[in-house]
Chain A
Amino acid sequence: MDLNLVIALGIQIIYGIANLTLISLGLAIIFGMMRVINLAHGEFIMLGGYTVVISTNAGVNIWISMLIVAPVVVGVIGVLVERLLIRWLYGRMIDTLLATWGLSLLLIGLVTSIFGASTATTISPPLGVVSIGDYTSSAYELLLIGITVALCLIIFLTLKLTRLGLIARGTMQNEEMASALGVSTPRIYMLTFGFGAAISGFAGGLLAPVTGVLPTIGVAYIAKSFITVISGGAVILAGTVSASAVLGGVNGIVSFLTGPTIGEVALLFAAILLLRLMPRGITGRFFRKGL
């Protein structure tokens, strides 16, 4: 293997990790703070993609669509969902499984009914190509890595500096503490759910130019992000990033060596082993006091 291939592959694996982080963070925020397993997470990502496609086709600048419109629109949808559905289910977190599964089906059905089973997504990655020797990577992929890092930084600062973040940290350290202190006001829950949804929508928007945008595309994300978040454990950022690094790394390397299916299976096996060794996720053992 020549050096260029190693570099190109290294970038690819980092991209894979960033990708996994990106699709998982929204779920991690909602799970980490509210202990709600949002089965409609994949559909939030899907909605982000649709938002970008529709607004870009309507003439909005693609960067504005991706960086602003998608998270805002999906964030608002998240707040609506919280107000109309999730808030009736506090204290009954298992029932949110049923509710969000229903929501997931509803969103798929709704989008299919409105936009059809397949949608023209004529938006392209708005950047060129980067060459490493004989190998070429999409510059957009490199940008995505950068944006993911920036996103992690934003979430870090939000957790570190805001009141929402303070409560989040409390909840992560001790599930019962926050509710015992009475700080988990409905408003905080609403904001959290909206914030998580916005991050998912943001991810979906960013991925729209490099994946298919279809009503049923959420299914491709939900299992992987669910597994990543839980493997990471209760600590939102450190958990998701470390789990993405482990799982994405394993997936990337094994995929290259043996092929994608075994790569996927290796990712799943890695998650099982990880949870067996660390029964409360990575952050159950490491970075416990992290963010």
Chain B
Amino acid sequence: MTIFRDMRATFTIAVIGILFMVLAPTVLELFAIINLTTAIALAMLALSLALVWGYGGILCFGQTAFFGVGAYAYTVAAINSGDAATAILIAVVVAIIFASVLGYFMFYGRVSDVYLAVITLTVSLILFSLIRRTSGPEYKIGDALLGGFNGVTAPPLNLPWDRAYFLFPEHVFYVAMAFLIIAYVFTAWLVRTKFGRVVISIKENELRAELLGYDIRLYKLLIFMIGAAIAGLGGVLFCNGVGRVTPDVFNLYNSALTIIWVIVGGRGTLIGPVLGAFGIFYLTSALGTQSTINNNLILGIILIIFVLAIPKGLVPTVRDWMIERKDRRIQRVRERRIRTRRTRSSTQNAEGAGE
């Protein structure tokens, strides 16, 4: 199978991820580990959009809807069942179902492009408006009160075989990092399967894919649902990192931010948006520690410089640069070889002449 050769870069990155997962808690302070969990959750959201948009060509402006739905579903399920494992499963399933309904509605209605962006954004904003209203006692699912704008406290992860044992922040970090690595390897594998290639072909040319006999609506729906599952899982990790879920996750700022991560990291790559999310997470956190200059101002300037200087996004730019360097090296080696050959042959000639 060529899959292992194809995925060499993926596995390299996964190994780096595992090393980070093991080493980080011994190097970093506790608060950094706790906050990293939040960053990992956001990276998961970025990964899901990298798949859906970067590979599936679906400009989903409301990917946070699935992230938030996942977070809420986890919280509600965990409060009711007391078992985090079940709750995670429920969260992912709910996100998938939600995406299937919304996706069916859009793709089978042939909505695409910026029109689809607006529908998804609008769905997210509707959730934002509606959940904000749920502060009253009547908004109760089982034992869980939704809590309106203030949100709900998310029960921490516990062990499936010992529900009374709640995980420490370091352990939550391990779980989050493991999920991220698995999701990354899974998506990298997925885009190399036949399914993945068809999805990419749909992004390249919908009509052609359709004329080949592929039901593009179905493929889009499926990739959308897979993306939602990953985003939902990200939501689960997010409410574990923050300890709470609030309707904020659905607002315009966060919807736009998700798109920004993907652009910054580079569309058409999976690791790019993940790094984009981490990068912007650390940037906003670092900026928050100062208040001399307005933070919007600094962030705005950085993003503008970024888009002008690194237009293709982080990872594609680095990749191109590396390829170019490699090419140049090969070129140099070749030239040197030719040169040596030439000198050698001329010496040989000379020697021959001498003989």
Contacts and interface: CB of A to CB of B under 8 A. Distances in A.
Contacts of B109: 276-277, 279
A103 B115 contact: no
A146 interface: no
Given A89-B307, A227-B122, A276 B133 contact: no
Given A94-B263, A223-B125, A99 B105 contact: no
A275 B299 CA distance: 34
Contacts of B118: 226-227, 230-231, 271, 275
B129 A261 contact: yes
Interface stretch (B193-201, B202-210, B218-226, B288-296): B288-296
B301 interface: yes
A268 B267 CA distance: 29
Given A98-B303, A272-B122, A276-B109, A106 B297 contact: yes
Contacts, number: 125
Interface of A is mostly: helix
A110 interface: yes
Residue among B122, B293, B301 with the highest chain A CB neighbour number at 10 A: B122
Nearest to A233: B115
Given A113-B293, A279-B115, A227 B303 contact: no
A88 B115 contact: no
Contact of B298 (A94, A95, A101, A109): A109
B114 interface: yes
Contacts of A222: 252
Contact of B308 (A39, A85, A219, A269): A85
A290 interface: no
B129 A106 contact: no
Contacts of B119: 271-272, 275-276
B122 A102 contact: no
Interface string B40-78: 000000000000000000000000000000000000000
Given A109-B297, A269-B126, A276 B111 contact: yes
A53 to B, nearest CB: 19
B123 interface: yes
A265 interface: yes
B311 interface: yes
A39 B256 contact: yes
A71 interface: no
The 9 closest A-B pairs by CB, nearest first: A109-B297, A106-B300, A102-B303, A105-B300, A109-B296, A109-B294, A230-B118, A102-B304, A105-B296
15 contacts: A89-B311, A95-B311, A98-B303, A101-B256, A103-B304, A106-B296, A106-B300, A108-B297, A109-B293, A223-B125, A261-B133, A272-B123, A275-B119, A276-B105, A281-B115
Given A95-B307, A102-B304, 17 more contacts: A85-B304, A95-B311, A97-B259, A98-B264, A98-B307, A99-B308, A102-B300, A102-B302, A106-B300, A108-B296, A109-B298, A112-B296, A113-B294, A230-B114, A268-B122, A276-B105, A279-B112
Interface of B: 105-106, 109-112, 114-115, 117-119, 121-123, 125-126, 129-130, 132-133, 252-253, 256, 259-260, 263-264, 267, 293-304, 306-308, 311
Interface of A: 37, 39, 85, 88-89, 92, 94-95, 97-99, 101-110, 112-113, 219, 222-223, 226-227, 230-231, 261, 264-265, 268-269, 271-272, 275-277, 279-281
